[in-house]
Homo-oligomer: A and B are copies of this chain.
Amino acid sequence: MTTMPPAPGRAFASDNAAGAHPAVLEAVIDANSGHVLAYGDDSITRRFERHVAELFDTDVVARLTFNGTGANVVALATLLGNLRGPHHAVVCTNWSHIEADETGAPERILGTKLIDLPASDAKITPERLSELRHLQGVQHHVQPGVVSITQPTELGTLYTVDEIRAVSDQAHEQGLLVHLDGARIANATAALGGSRAALRSFTVEAGVDAVSFGGTKNGLLGAEAVVFLRPELAVGSEYVRKQVTQLPSKMRYLAAQFNAVLDGDLWIDLAAHSNAMATELHRLVDGVPGVDAGAKPQVNSLFPTLDPAMIEHLRTWCFFWDWDPSIHQVRWMTAWDTTQDDVEAFANGVRALAG
């Protein structure tokens, strides 16, 4: 039996296993002063809306929601509602969260088919969109209405700016709107330049129409936002949010969380740190016997393949999730609060078992 070194202070299960950043908690405490009107008619929410407009440097409509599934459904229901007719479908990949991990929420709530394109890298290409032209104009088929891409993808990879622009251009040429599921958009922003300009480059400047802007996985208690980058496509979104159960009554507390990390771009710093920790972990375990560390992380997750004998010992010592059990692949994910010590301690454990 291997004697294991001390376990890390924080495991590598998920970024939503992490807590909230202290600045977020302070903002919530600060917001807890007296009465303000509910449902967003308050100054903290208005400050959030200004923040988002500055972030994207354009007129936007931003709607706070409770969680990521909620943000996706609000975004998609609003975009679909701005097309004419209930016969439009959402194009995504087989890996997309909306397809694979939301218990059918889009079908239930939108009443809409998801056309899930098989994509080994979880990315949609203009060519794949173009192939859907054979559906167009035929009454027996749903008509593609919205394409939803995820950045970073569910596989921890990134679209380049040019790739997103190409998808958007193709989508718009075919009459489709473009949604970007950014549950970890901060990690993508950090990886693609680490600035507001980087964010804009792969969203508003790349032709994206609406974004699910994640916060929870990046140090909030729990808040996400839908940002409509073309306000004319936000028509109805306030009603849609309520109808799909995503209207917070005490909105100030969600707005305050976002304000805390948008101030001074803390949101980018937190994600940059998380990304760096994943890279560091990859560096430390790459080459350890029994470990195929896989591709170098583009954001905050590794998908290593392990000697099957190691997996359960390692997991018992410090929890993580399987990815593809059939090939002994697991997922290690860092968070905004993962420390260098955590990474080193974990790598020590890996090495101990490999020894």
- With most chain B CB atoms within 10 A of its CB, the pick from A18, A25, A66, A237 is A66
Residue A17 at the chain B interface, CB threshold 8 Å = yes
A24-55 interface code vs B (CB 8 A; 1 in, 0 out): 01001101111111110000000000000000
Provide the residues of chain B in CB contact with A10, threshold 8 Å. 34-35
Provide the residues of chain B in CB contact with A36, threshold 8 Å. 17
Residue A210 at the chain B interface, CB threshold 8 Å = no
Residue A355 at the chain B interface, CB threshold 8 Å = no
Contact B89–A104 (Cβ < 8 Å)? yes
Complex Cα–Cα for A30 and B333 (A):
24
| A side interface size, CB within 8 A | 83
Provide the residues of chain B in CB contact with A16, threshold 8 Å. 38, 249-250
Contact A236–B141 (Cβ < 8 Å)? no
Contact B245–A73 (Cβ < 8 Å)? yes
Residue A77 at the chain B interface, CB threshold 8 Å = yes
Contact A247–B69 (Cβ < 8 Å)? yes
Among residues of B, the one whose C-beta sits closest to the C-beta of A84 is B235
Residue A169 at the chain B interface, CB threshold 8 Å = no
Of B33, B37, B103, which is within 8 A of A142 by CB?
Answer: B103
A1-16 interface code vs B (CB 8 A; 1 in, 0 out): 0000000011101101
Complex Cα–Cα for A39 and B248 (A):
19
Contact A85–B78 (Cβ < 8 Å)? yes
Complex Cα–Cα for A247 and B68 (A):
10
Provide the residues of chain B in CB contact with A82, threshold 8 Å. 84-85
Which 6 A/B pairs are nearest by Cβ-Cβ distance?
A: A85-B236, A87-B239, A81-B85, A70-B245, A66-B66, A103-B242
